[in-house]
Amino acid sequence: MKVTIRDGQSFESGLRKFKNKVADSNLLQEVRERQTYEKPTTTRKIAKARARSRWKKHLAAQELPKKLY
């Protein structure tokens, strides 16, 4: 990946653009996943737990607020 910095631009702005490109490509996430082997059952278990927490969050958002009197 390359980011060109033109005259007048600071190094920090170029670094920010580079970090955004890396984050958008999911490159770091792929590297982290490849560092250790994870069994398929563990992957499914984690995915199920995340889905369950998203669903609980959705249900909590649908509830009416409690009366405060």
pTM to 2 decimals?
0.53
Domain ranges of the chain: 11-62
Does the pLDDT at position 3 exceed 90? no
The position carrying tokens 């409690």 is 66
Selected residue with higher pLDDT from 51 and 69: 51
* DSSP structure string for the chain: ------TT--HHHHHHHHHHHHHHTTHHHHHHHHHS---HHHHHHHHHHHHHHHHHHHHHHHSPPPP--
For 6-51, write each residue's pLDDT tens digit.
888 888 999 999 999 999 998 888 898 899 999 999 999 999 999 9
